[in-house]
Structure 1
Amino acid sequence: MKFGMTLANTGPQVEGETAIAYAQEAERAGFESLWTVEHVVVPEGYQTPYPYAEDGKMPGKRDDIDIPDPLMWMAFVASVTSEIKLGTGVLIVPQRNFAVTAKAVATLDRLSRGRVLLGVGAGWLEEEFDALGVPFADRGDITDEHLHAYRALWQQDVCSFEGEHVSFDRVYCRPQPSGHIPIIVGGDSKRAARRAGEHGDGFFPVSGDLDEMAMLFDHAKRCAEKAGRDPDKLDFTTIGAATPEWVEKYAAIGITRLITNPMSRSKFDDFSRDIITAYADA
């Protein structure tokens, strides 16, 4: 089981000095990865229900919390670490230009010597899509095409792709990644599981319901097999409690990476370091 920490670019880690201390302490403690979150904007008084909380509100319960750009934050801490992997959990794919994103991710992967884990999602906050001028109803199809485009720009020498939402012919996009960038698809729907099976290297549901996740993992594997891909190569990630009891339960349904959130403080101090160490030793 691999262990990561989520919400890395929130709370006190929005400040540079604290972000450095946090990332270096997590690496020293032996965590495999740090995971960032993303919202470009959060519309005041949004009504779209946040799908991962009973009250329909994002963590923090406020509309004006600081959420630094995940790729910028990852680049910053990549320069002061050497081994810990850096993940987006998740990057909201349809809200970003496909080529600008592919280039930024490839650049970060090269600079960090292959430490990027690209967690992706189609998004859920309709008011955010409206503010950015992106069609909410088409977000799933746009996401699928962008993932195809990323691969073309990262893997082809002279790159071409033709789709309904993305089209380009014979272009160079340099630098290319240092190697294969894992695409880990987030979501708790069958569509997300299908996307993982057809396009991804892994799947990242967060519902917490073991039976539901096991069903989705099975669906992702079937979709991978139908697409002519090896289902056994899919990596399964979730967020949860890093206790021995729960680690055993997660492993039993095929989860290979567990992401936890040990931090709930408004500052990073010696007590925070003790928490990270305790989780790493659990």
Structure 2
Amino acid sequence: MKFALHFGNNTFPGGAGAARLARLAEAAGFDSVFAVDHVVLPDAYDSTYPYAAGGRLPGNQFSAMPDPLIWMAFAAAATTRLRLMTGVIILPLRNPLVLAKQVATLDHMSGGRIELGIGVGWLREEFEALGVPFAARGRRADDYVAAMRALWREESASHAGEFVQFSGVSCSPRPGAGAVPIIVGGHSEAAARRAGRLGDGFFPSIGAQVDTMPLLEVARRAAAAAGRDPDAIEMLGGCPGALPGSGEDPLAAVEARRKQGIHRVVLPVNRFLPDLEDSLPRFGETVIRACA
């Protein structure tokens, strides 16, 4: 079982805090740290945030949320083994050629430690501010994934999709492994089907106001229908019982998630505050190493 910490960049938006978190997570045995994404946050919005009971983002629009890729670059420079992932980047809001270049560069310079978690977004007002249509954002995301993979795979790449078209272009450096793993995030059946159809993994984002465990089977069925190996899709998921102060047996909670098909447990970093120097090593010793 692998373990990840979520909400790294908005919990530790400064450079010193980012380096502190990354180094402590690596030393404790965590596999990865995630960084969240919003380009802009409107002063007022009618959209419903799906990962909190009240339907509103925690904090406010003025809370610091560094760009996830730049934050991940800083964390990668402070570590040697820790993997970094966008959890998730709102893919339809990004130019896929620019994003492919940024992610491949970061993967190249970090020694292959980058994963691209993607989502289609929920905040209509953010799309409007960036001039990107909110409708068909799922199809747009699918097209962007195909375009990025073509750029990572081919020296002279071409792509003819619904939203992106190019021919005979090179985007270097390319990822050392030929691609960057793409983890599809979301709490809907559409997200699960997308993960099965084209993802390297599926992350039913923690905090969803619905039971996301049944979505794992949706993703597996979609993978089989697409002629892919369902067992090759990495499944990520939260595990509240493993958190400090939960009152549950963390090893039993992790084992229950393992039996449900989870490969990587994702935990919010704020539950380890304020004493990271004590809580992360203790979790590493009592849980991560015991589950290795």
Which TM bucket (shorter chain)?
over 0.9
d(CA) in 2 for partners of 1:132 and 1:262?
30
- The amino acid that maps onto 1:225 is A
Q: 2-side partners of 1:262 and 1:169: how far apart?
A: 43
- Paired with 1:44 and 1:275, the residues of 2 have a C-alpha distance of 36
Q: Is the 8 A contact 1:262 1:279 kept in 2?
A: no
Q: Confirm or deny that 1:17 pairs with 2:16.
A: yes
- Counterpart residue number, 1:137: 135
2:110 is matched with 112
Find the partner of 1:259 among 263, 266, 271: 266
Match of 1:149 among 143, 147, 150: 147
Unaligned residue ranges in structure 2 (runs of 5+): 243-249, 288-292
Question: Using the alignment, how far apart are the partners of 1:53 and 1:258 within structure 2?
Answer: 20
Q: Pairwise mapping of residues 158-237 of structure 1 onto structure 2 (< 5 A)?
A: 158-179=156-177, 180-206=179-205, 212-237=211-236
In structure 2, give the amino acid aligned to 1:36.
A
In structure 1, what is the equivalent of residue 58 of structure 2? 59
Deviates further, 101-110 or 178-187: 178-187
Deviation at 1:264, TM superposition (A): 5.3
Q: CA RMSD in A?
A: 1.8
Deviation at 1:207, TM superposition (A): 5.5
Native 8 Å contact 2:8 2:269 kept in 1? no
Q: Which residue does the alignment assign to 1:3?
A: 3
The letter for the 1-side match of 2:61 is D
Q: Distance in 1 between matches of 2:107 and 2:40?
A: 25
Cα deviation for residue 245 of structure 1 reads 3.0
Q: Deviations over 1:44-75 (max 9, x none)?
A: 12221100111011233x12111000000011
Count of aligned residue pairs for this structure pair: 277
**Partner Cα distance (1:276, 1:82) in 2:** 18
Unpaired runs of at least 5, structure 1:
none
8 Å contact kept, 1:187–1:206: yes
Does the CA-based 8 Å contact 2:51-2:207 persist in structure 1? no
1:212 deviates by: 4.1
Task: State the shift of 1:155 in Å.
Answer: 0.5
Task: Supply the AA of the counterpart residue of 1:24.
Answer: R
Q: Deviations over 1:114-147 (max 9, x none)?
A: 1011110001111111111110012111100001
CA distance in 1, matches of 2:258, 2:58: 26
Structure 2 distance, partners of 1:188, 1:15, is 30
SS state of the match for residue 127, structure 2?
helix
Q: 2:37 and 2:52 mapped to 1: Cα distance?
A: 17
Tell me, yes or no, if the aligned pair for 1:262 and 1:276 is still in contact at 8 Å.
Answer: no
